[in-house]
Every structure is written in C-alpha cells, then in structure tokens.
Structure 1
Amino acid sequence: MAGPTFADIARAAGVGTATVERVLNGRGGVRPATVERVLAAARSLDYPRRLPDVHRGLLRIEVILVRPETTFYRRLSRAFERIAATLDPVVRVHRTFADEADPPAIAALIASGDRRAGLILAVPDHPAIRAAVEGVAPQLPLVHVVTRAHPTLGELVAIDNYAAGRTAAHFLARMQGRLGGLVAIGHPIYQVHRERLRGFSDCLALRPGGLDFRWIGFGGDDARRCGDLVHRALETWPDLAGVYNVGAGNRAVADVLRRHPRGAGVFCVGHELSDATAEALRDGAMHIVLDQAPEAQARRAIDLMLSRLGLLTLPVDTTPIRFVTVTAESV
C-alpha cells in the first residue's frame, strides 16, 4: 500500500501542500507552531521518511504547575520529569511553576509560548485564567490535571473528588469510636476541595445522628493556618470527634493533635501520602490518608497529550484516576 502523500498530510494538519513540502524537506520559512502541527500529522499517518534532524525536539509540551513546596506537586513534577526521560527525543516536556496567589501571572504564562505543541495545566480556576485558556484552546491540545482551570475547555485527569469526600466521611463514621462534632479544613479557590467537602457533607447527611458536621475552616493550604484552625476547633468544642483535612497542611494538623490534651481522641482523615502523613499514621495522629496518585495522573496526562498530537494510536482511558486508601498498616 502506498504511503501518505503531501496532500494527505496537508489535510490532516490543516495546511497547504506547499507548507508540508517545506517542513518535510527542511527548507524553513514556516512558523514553529505550524511545523509542529505538520510533523504530528506526518507521524500520525506513518509517514515513512525520516524527518529532518533540524526538527527534532520541536514537539514541546508545556506543563504549568503551582505550589512546589507541597509534597503533592513535587511528586507530580517529578513524575512528569521521569516520563519525559522515556519519550522519543522529538517530544520535550517543559515544566514551569507559577505563583498560585497571582492568577494574572498564570494567565500570562498560559497565553504566551507560541512554540509549544500542547499545554498541561495544574492551576486553580480564576476568571483571568479561564480567559487565557479560552484564548489558546483553539490552537493547541489542552489537558487539565488535578483540577480544572476552565469548566468546559480541555480534558481533565483527576480522581473522583466527590467520591473521595464521601470515602473520608464513611471511614470517619464507621471507625470513630465516639460521637461528637466534626470539622473540615479546605482551600476555597480549588474546585476539587469544594467537591470533596460536598461529598463529605452529603455522606454524613445520610447517616443517623451522633456525628455533627459543625464547621468548615479555610486554611488556604497554609500549614500554620491549618494548624491554628484545628487548635481553635479543639478549644471551641470539647467533644470534637473528627477532623477532615481536605488539602495541604497535614504536618501542622497532626502536630496540633499530638500536643493538645484532647487530640488523641480525634479521628483524622487527610490527603496525600508523604513522609509527614506516613509518620502521623504510624504514631496515631492521623488514621486515614487518601492519596490521589500524582504519578498516575501525570502518566495519563502525557498519554492524552500524545494521543491528541497523533503520536499515540492506542485509546487512552478517560475514567477518573483511582485514589489509594492508606492506613498505619500499609505504610
């Protein structure tokens, strides 16, 4: 069977045959973004000729993340780094950390960079960020990791956060040995935190009385603030029975529960396995950790991107990533 023609590649890439000829013969004069689109189309059609060396490394996937100081995002970043080392040299994965508290700067990062072939985002939702996503989505593949930066544009790789919240409530209601008040600590700028809190609340509402969900504290994923909120809850409600920490700050939460005279009687559920949460599980300051497997999320995001670029022909699973329940017995 004859191989693909320049016309076939041109149709797949949405360009003219003259542009395809210039790219595949290495004659220059073509915008980098268009070169990337033509090369992706050629590979997806199994173009038999070796592509010019001058174009190798041009398929640049940019990953924008936040909060490098947190264990979760460090794990996510390292996972992207390890996966990138296994890819064909034609594909480069570039990671950039942005300031979570500066949405306009994140939006500027999203809007810039005309040499990239695809964009992977692990950033919060904000009007400026949504507008930036709307500006780039028509030009390149877009994948969100962990949480959506836009409600409809791009594909999402994440756990089922509503189910994670329900799971936290299930364990707390089944395993807590006494009745009393419950509190949750979260970060309102993240949709995933809101989904976890909704699942937590909905699950508890269906259970008989005895555990009273009293309060949601907004710790902003700041360790000191999260610890202070748990201390305030312990001082406010002597019958405090459980704490659900929806995001970061587990080390500070566990430290408060260790030090406070009533902390030992509080059942604590948190997210993300780390050295701090593993230690807290072993010494009883925490009881359940729900880990959202950032390594699996990075792998899925890269696979989706390669598929959209025509470099992966096998179908990619789009169901939610399975989160992992960790206890003292499994760390």
Structure 2
Amino acid sequence: MAQDKENTERILRPLPTLSDVAQAAGVALSTASKALNGQGKLRPETRERVLEAAKQLGFRPNDLAQSLVRGRSFTVGLLSTDNYGRFSIPLVTGIEDALVNAQISVFLCNTLGSPEREQQHLDSLLAKHVDGIIVTSDRTNSRAPIDLGKLDLPVIYAYTRVEDPNVLCILPDDEQGARLAVEHLIKQGRRHFAHITGPVYFEAVQLRAKEMRAVLGEHDIPFTERRVLSGAWEESWGYEAANILLDRDPLIDAIFCGSDQIARGVVDGLRERGIRVPEDIAITGFDNWEVMATAVRPPLTTVDLNLHELGKLAGTRLLQMIDGQRPTGIERVPCSLVVRESSAAQSKSIQTKSKIQQREA
C-alpha cells in the first residue's frame, strides 16, 4: 500500500519547470534558459550548476521550443507504406545506425497506402519541425512526390522512387542481384533455366527478368519465354507455377524465383512430384527474408537486398542534405548472394541424366 501511494504521488507530482531549475541553481530565469540551450557566454561553473539542477529535478526541456532556438529539432520522419514491416524495419535500423552519432531520432509513420493518412502524418511531422524526411514503401515502383508546399526540407526516397531528377532516390540494384543469382546457377552446371516471378507491373520484376536474359545470352544458353511465369507474390503461386512449368518442359534444371515466398511454393510443388532440390532442379530466391528462406527445405539460396545498408546510406545522405548538400538522381545499393543448400552443385552427370529420363517418361 505504501508503495502504491508513493507511485500515485509521483504520478500526480507536477513536472518541474524552468523556473524550478533557475531557483534550484540560484540563477536568473534567463541564465537557466541560456545554460540549457547552450546559448550565451556563461561561466562553465554556472552552466554546470544549472545542468546539475535540471538533472536532479528531472527537468526535460520543451523540444519544440528548443528546436526554434537551435534551428534544428534533431528528429527526422520516416513515411512508410509497408504494412508488415518486411522492408521498413531493416531500413529503419540502418537509418538509425547512421543517425545515432548525430543524436537524431526517427519518427516512423505507417501510411497504410492511404494518401489521406500520408498527408496527415506529413502535416504532423512538419508541425514537429523535423530536420528531414525519408519516404519508403513495400515496392520500388514510382510514386508521386510528397507535397511540402514552399518548404525547403531535405527529402530522400528509399526503396521507392519518384520521376523527378532533382530528387534523391536510393534503390537496391535489382539487375546486379539477378546477375548474381543466375551466374551462380550457371557455375553449378545448370543450363535449362526457368523464371517464376511476381506481377509484371513491378519495376523490380522487369529489371530482374531483363538481366537474367542478358546473362544467359552472354553464356550462349538458350532460353524461351515459355519458361517465364508471372503471378502473385505468394507461395501458392510458386506451387502452381512449378506444376505448370514442369508440365510444359520437364528438362528444367534451374529455377530463378522472384521472391523467397514464391521459391518456397516452388520447392513444395517439386517435392510433391518427386523432384529433388537441388539434385534435379536448383532453386534461388530473392529478398533473403530469413524467416522464410531458412524455413524452406532445403534452405534457400537467395539474393539479399541489403536493406540495412540501404537504410544506412539513406541516413548518411540525409545528414549530408541537412548540412547543406543536395545530392540528386538514383543511387543503387549492390545486392549480395546468400548461398544455401537449394542450389548446391549437381550430382554426378549419370545420376542427373537418369533422373531426367525418369521425368520424361
């Protein structure tokens, strides 16, 4: 009971004010204000006495008032449409890593894909006098720029882009990532490729497919468009597409998938048909969504978008813009390949040929 009473009294106790700090430190109100805001020419011992009094009283300055004095709020906004956090969470950790030494905090706002909600969050961030804004999404497709009115505020688009050459957009290098996956499969001795991917209106889908064709052409590996299947970003589509593909062409020995979710469905479909991964068909995914990629049996070789590094670069570029620089254009972050068991080297050629013959029969 005594503890409950103490907690209640602590809750009801009024917050200490600047006047309380000045009185405790034995200085004028204006002197206390200058000491806490790092302003004015004060003796070091006076400033230290005020800071110590503030600490003892638990005084917290009004951030908005301080931002008006300093011309900086030491906060930035992150506007995201990623409802599940699959892309925004790695991004925000990278952004925070880049900003932590500058003592800048990040306000994460989920717009749920609603223009009205986005504007509401944007108005709130501007009212807080944030030093900059990073806009991100769950896809890299082009979007409309945010409306800042006449404000000259640093803005970066990360894992999304706008059609404005005067704006900085930071994206993963989808073409380079696709090249890593396809060249890896070629090095494993694979020559009969297929591609199961997401909706064709995604820019990433177009870029990855284009680069796959280019790499196969460089190695004189024939490829037919009948081996490209596009559908939803879902396991069920991967499962369905794997069966469609093998009914069309049982000679396939490598499938480059457009996402880890699709790849997991593909592996399930192959298993049900008695086709071994990777002995008969090697599989690669895209995203390196670890909870998905490591749950596949066998674990999935996949392209990592390096979203943490992308976020870190976005945070670094935003700091540069806050300091007066104005980088523009599109900057792409290299992907990396995480090799797991789904793409291991083929078995002895005689075993592989035997399995192909069984599938043809």
1:55 aligns to 2:66 (yes or no): yes
Q: Structure 2: give runs of 5+ residues left out of the alignment.
A: 1-32, 48-60, 342-361
Q: C-alpha distance in 2, partners of 1:234/1:191? A: 27
One-letter amino acid of the counterpart of residue 183, structure 1? H
Deviations 1:20-74 (A, max 9, x none): xxxxxx9xxxxxxxxxxxx9xxxxxxx9999996325834322123334364444
* Structure-2 residue corresponding to 1:170: 183
Match of 1:198, SS state, is helix
More relative contact order in 1 or in 2 (CA 8 Å, sep 6+)?
2
* Structure-1 residue corresponding to 2:247: 235
Q: Is the 8 A contact 1:167 1:200 kept in 2?
A: no
Q: C-alpha distance in 2, partners of 1:52/1:285? A: 51
Q: C-alpha distance in 1, partners of 2:257/2:200? A: 13
1:325 aligns to 2:325 (yes or no): no
Q: C-alpha distance in 2, partners of 1:266/1:191? A: 27
Change (3 A) 1:212 1:125: closer
Match of 1:69, SS state, is coil
Change (3 A) 1:252 1:67: farther
Match of 1:133, SS state, is coil
Q: Is the 8 A contact 1:133 1:150 kept in 2?
A: no
In the TM superposition, 1:116-155 aligns within 5 A as: 116-123=130-137, 124=139, 129-130=143-144, 132-133=145-146, 139-155=152-168
* Structure-2 residue corresponding to 1:260: 273
Q: Is the 8 A contact 2:198 2:232 kept in 1?
A: yes
In the TM superposition, 1:33-72 aligns within 5 A as: 54-56=65-67, 58-69=73-84, 71-72=86-87
Change (3 A) 1:171 1:154: same
Q: C-alpha distance in 2, partners of 1:186/1:261? A: 25
Change (3 A) 1:82 1:221: farther
Q: C-alpha distance in 2, partners of 1:134/1:217? A: 38
Deviations 1:86-145 (A, max 9, x none): 3545x331112343xx46457646864433332212224677x32x43666963222122
* Structure-2 residue corresponding to 1:207: 219
Q: C-alpha distance in 2, partners of 1:299/1:107? A: 23
**Superposed displacement of residue 204, structure 1:** 1.6
* Structure-2 residue corresponding to 1:15: none
1:223 aligns to 2:238 (yes or no): no
1:93 aligns to 2:109 (yes or no): no
One-letter amino acid of the counterpart of residue 55, structure 1? Q
Q: Is the 8 A contact 2:260 2:293 kept in 1?
A: no
Q: C-alpha distance in 1, partners of 2:241/2:150? A: 39
Q: Is the 8 A contact 1:68 1:97 kept in 2?
A: yes
Q: C-alpha distance in 2, partners of 1:204/1:145? A: 30
One-letter amino acid of the counterpart of residue 293, structure 2? T
Q: Is the 8 A contact 2:90 2:311 kept in 1?
A: no
1:308 aligned to which of 294, 308, 321: 321
One-letter amino acid of the counterpart of residue 121, structure 1? V
**Superposed displacement of residue 154, structure 1:** 2.1
Q: Is the 8 A contact 1:68 1:74 kept in 2?
A: no
Q: C-alpha distance in 2, partners of 1:149/1:239? A: 42
Q: Is the 8 A contact 2:178 2:211 kept in 1?
A: yes
**Superposed displacement of residue 78, structure 1:** 4.0
2:170 aligned to which of 150, 157, 160: 157
Deviations 1:242-276 (A, max 9, x none): 22222351433333344332353222121232133
Q: Structure 1-normalised TM-score?
A: 0.66
Q: Is the 8 A contact 1:183 1:214 kept in 2?
A: no
Q: C-alpha distance in 2, partners of 1:211/1:291? A: 25
One-letter amino acid of the counterpart of residue 195, structure 1? L
One-letter amino acid of the counterpart of residue 321, structure 1? V
Q: C-alpha distance in 1, partners of 2:41/2:267? A: 59
Question: How many residues align structurally?
Answer: 274
Q: Structure 2-normalised TM-score?
A: 0.61
* Structure-2 residue corresponding to 1:246: 258
Q: Structure 1: give runs of 5+ residues left out of the alignment.
A: 1-25, 27-38, 40-46
CA RMSD of aligned residues (A): 4.0
Q: C-alpha distance in 2, partners of 1:105/1:187? A: 26
